[in-house]
Amino acid sequence: MTGSIQRSMCAGMLTLQAVVLFLAGLVMTGVTDVGFGVAVSIGLSLALLCLLAAGTLRRPWGYGLGWTVQVVSVGLGLVVPVMFFLGAVFGALWAGAYFLGARIDREKAEHAALEAQWQAEHGG
């Protein structure tokens, strides 16, 4: 087995989400009364949180941080209403990457174990 599909898929989603959250910070400057510096700081902080979560997925708590990012993304809808929708979309994509990736990893491990067993029995 070369690596975790779950980790790769989740890291990819968090990386894409980092871009969206940074841009949401920029949008915040035009659609809210939040100042430019505060809005950009929020967007940049959330983007960095995504990248931190993506970088820590080798540890069990990295996935918890990823789930936290999803909650915060939806919560950002309280400031930028379109983020209710985008947060829900990214939350669904994250959940898909998390659960489908885990399933693929599990099936790859089962396949590798069966192949090793077959080779041991048949001298392969």
User: Over the stretch 80-89, which tens digit does the pLDDT of each residue have?
Assistant: 899 999 999 9
What is the reported pLDDT for 10? Answer: 97
Determine the pLDDT at residue 123: 77
pLDDT (0 to 100) of residue 2: 63
The domain total for the chain is 1
This model's pTM is above 0.85:
yes
19, pLDDT greater than 90: yes
Q: In which domain, by residue range, is 22 found?
A: 5-122
CA distance 42 to 85: 18
Max CA pair span of the chain: 72
Q: In the predicted model, what is the mean pLDDT of residues 79-99?
A: 95
Residue 110 CB-density burial (10 A; 0-12 exposed, 13-18 middle, 19+ buried): exposed
Assign 3 a pLDDT band (cuts: 50, 70, 90).
confident
Q: Give the model confidence (pLDDT) of 45-76 as tens digits.
A: 999 999 999 999 999 899 999 999 999 999 99
Taking a C-beta distance cutoff of 8 angstroms, is the pair 87, 77 a contact?
yes
